[in-house]
Amino acid sequence: MVGRPYGLGAFSSLSAQALSVYVNCSTGVAPYTPTTVASNKSVEQQVLCNAGDVAIGGGVETVSPPLPLPSQVTTSTPENSFLFSGETPIGWQVVYQNTNVNTQCYYSPNPPAKLCPSVQFRVCVSCLVNP
């Protein structure tokens, strides 16, 4: 007797179901307000899937100023990963840093905005609807 390859039955039932995927972003709905990070500061931002759904990926986007950033401005994301509830990925989390090497940005109590710009970003997560 010739049998089916192992797992084919499970795959067939899964492929018969339509998978539903969507994206949520931290900017929400209009007017799409991004998160602002002042010069030489960092901010954590999280975005969640709808209740009961599972995160499958995510990321961060610099919204302004337009790229490329001014020469002395560097951004980094020391944390850019899944957000978990127990063992279930339910969202995406980012720590976004805005670093400026201009000395006026470190020592001036009111640094000039043109030399020490704030940077705006948003975080998005791709989610799988839990059937």
80 pLDDT tier (thresholds 50, 70, 90)? very high
Is cis: bond before 31, omega within 30 of 0?
Answer: yes
37 falls within a domain: yes
**DSSP-derived 3-state class of residue 5:** coil
Residue 102 predicted with pLDDT over 90: no
What does each C-alpha distance from 56 to 7, 30, 82, 110, 115 come to in angstroms? 23, 25, 8, 42, 38
Domain count, the chain: 1
Domain that holds residue 47: 20-128
Residue 106 predicted with pLDDT over 50: yes
Rounded to two decimals, what is the model's pTM?
0.77
